[in-house]
Structures are given as structure tokens and as C-alpha cells.
Structure 1
Amino acid sequence: MEIITIRKDHFPEIAEIYRQGLETGHATFETNVPTWEDWDKGKLKHSRLVATLDNTVVGWAALSAVSDLCVYGGVAEVSIYISNNHQGKGIGKALMQKLIEESEANDIWTLQSGMFPENKATVALHKNAGFRIIGHREKIGKLGNTWRDTIMMERRSKTIGIN
């Protein structure tokens, strides 16, 4: 497996993996796969990673800003998705480790992530990477006609933003 920086030509495979996540009903409140332009606009320009096996994208990770306020410039939200055929093989762990390294190299001191509590693999991935649960949001939004809860998790860097 190789972890490399996302290029625009990776997007069809990224979009397919995202679509697979949408189909689970436990990955996101979103209901449609974005265009490259919308995806690109919504993600930070650094810390965009794909995991590839035999030149095929099998997972991706990227960061989004949590706010436009400058005081939150070192806080980012994690997106991480693994293809259905490659889950449970350590790809998420490897992507998350590299994402943490990249984020800290770009002065991100706090990573946060919101997830559905039913998404046990994602909760475990984050816990194993040093994230902690900081809250539960009850019926925070609807997916279709169903109110959904989310868990908020956070990881504070031990090396960036501690002065």
C-alpha cells in the first residue's frame, strides 16, 4: 500500500468510495456525491491523502476547516473513507496516522470528527488514533425522515499549539 497526496485524477475513485459510504446510511448526513469542484472547495489544500493498492484508490482522508475565524485556524475536521472491499485491513489506521502527521506539519493542533454512533468501526478507528469522545449530539439532524444522533470526537496534538 502507498499513501500519497490526492490529485484531481483520483476523484472518480474517491467519489465512488464516498458513494459507498453514503449507501451505508451511517457515514454522513450528505445524500449526494459532490462534484470535484465542490469537494475541492470544501477541503483544506493540505493533508489530502489517498491509499492505493496496485494503482487503485482504496481509501482517502482529508481535512476541512471548522470555522473561518482565525482563532480556529489550527482546528480541522476529519473525513476518512475506505472502500467496501478493503475495510478491516489496516488502511484506515495507516491513513489516519499519515493524516495526523500531515496535519501537524501544517500547524493543525486539534482534529475533530463527528460520526453516527452506529458506525462502530469509525468510532474505534478514532479512539485507536488518540481521539476522545467530547460529546453526544442528540437528534442533531435528519437523514431522510429519521432524526440522528452523532458523537463528537477530538484529538489534541501533543506537539503543535501547546505553547
Structure 2
Amino acid sequence: MHFRKMTPDDWEKVKDIYLQGIATGNATFQKEAPSWEEWDKGHMGFSRIISNDERNNITGWCALSPVSSRCVYAGVAEVSVYVATAYAGMQIGTRLLRQLITESEANGIWTLQAGIFPENKASIRIHEKEGFRLVGYREKIGQMDGIWRDTLLLERRSNDI
């Protein structure tokens, strides 16, 4: 497994993996993938990481979004981690998250947050394994297909910053 910085040329494959996550119904409230320009604007310029297999196929990706535009929260970011369905269960999500933690801290991020559907047990597991803890339960935070959904708020505070 290799890791590298995401580039705009990766967008089509990154988008495909995102759409696979959307299709599960347990990865995001989003119903469609944004354009590269929209996605780029909504994510921090650093800590955009791609995982590749030995044949250079993109197997997953992760990135950070700011949680607020207020300067006091400049070191707090929301985590996105997506793994291609064909590569599920191969520890790719865990390895991507580890890379993301290291790179985010190198860029001054002191708190990482993740909003996860309670049904997404694999995501909860990998986040907890990497030091995230449950800090909140957001009941009926948003609707998906007319059904109110809950999310868990997990957080990881840097030990180094």
C-alpha cells in the first residue's frame, strides 16, 4: 500500500469511491458527489491523501474540512475517510486515518472530529482504534430520504499540539 497527496487528476476515481459510500446509505447525508471545484473549496488544502495498491489503483482517500470559519477553531477539522468497496476489510481505512492524523498534526490541527452514523460500525471501530472517543450523540440531526437520522460525534485531541 502506498500513500500520496491527492491531485485534481484523481478526482474521477475519488468521486467514484465517494459515490460508493453514498450508495451504502451510512456514510454521508449527501445524495450526489459535488464537482471537483465544489469539493476543493470545501476541504483543507493539506491532508488530502490517496491510497494506492501495487498496481497503482486508488483504493481509498481521506481529507479534512474546516468545522468553522472562526479563527479560534482553525485547528479543528472534520475527517472524511472513504475506501473503495472492493478493498473493504483490508485495513485501508485504518492506515489512511493514521496518515491523516500524522499529516494533520504537522499542519497545526489539534482536534479531529468525525460525524458517523451509528450503523456504520466499521467506521466507528477504526476511529476508536486510532484514539477517537465518543463525545456526543446527535439525535435526529438530519433527514435522509424522509427519515430522521442520528449521528455520533467522535473526537481525537492531539497529544503533541
TM-score by length of 2: 0.98
Letter in 2 for 1:146: I
Letter in 1 for 2:73: Y
In the other structure, the counterpart of 1:47 is: 47
In the other structure, the counterpart of 2:78 is: 77
In the other structure, the counterpart of 1:101 is: 102
In the other structure, the counterpart of 1:158 is: 159
In the other structure, the counterpart of 2:69 is: 68
In the other structure, the counterpart of 2:139 is: 138
1:26 aligns with 2:56: no
Share of identical aligned residues, percent?
50
1:37 aligns with 2:25: no
Root mean square deviation of aligned Cα? 0.5
In the other structure, the counterpart of 2:8 is: 8
Letter in 2 for 1:81: Y
Deviations 1:1-60 (A, max 9, x none): 101000111110000000000000000000011110011001000000000111111100
How far has the Cα of 1:144 moved from its partner? 1.1
How far has the Cα of 1:99 moved from its partner? 0.2
Q: Counterparts of 2:111 and 2:50 in 1: how far apart (Å)? A: 21
Q: Secondary structure of the equivalent of 2:50?
A: strand
Q: Counterparts of 2:113 and 2:145 in 1: how far apart (Å)? A: 25
Structure 2 unmatched ranges of 5 or more:
none
Structure 1 unmatched ranges of 5 or more:
none
Number of residue pairs matched by the alignment: 160
Deviations 1:104-149 (A, max 9, x none): 0000000000010000000001000100000100011001111000
Q: Counterparts of 2:33 and 2:74 in 1: how far apart (Å)? A: 27
Q: Counterparts of 1:80 and 1:38 in 2: how far apart (Å)? A: 18
Q: Counterparts of 1:11 and 1:131 in 2: how far apart (Å)? A: 28
Q: Secondary structure of the equivalent of 1:47?
A: coil
Q: Counterparts of 2:93 and 2:3 in 1: how far apart (Å)? A: 11
Q: Counterparts of 1:143 and 1:115 in 2: how far apart (Å)? A: 14
Q: Secondary structure of the equivalent of 2:140?
A: strand
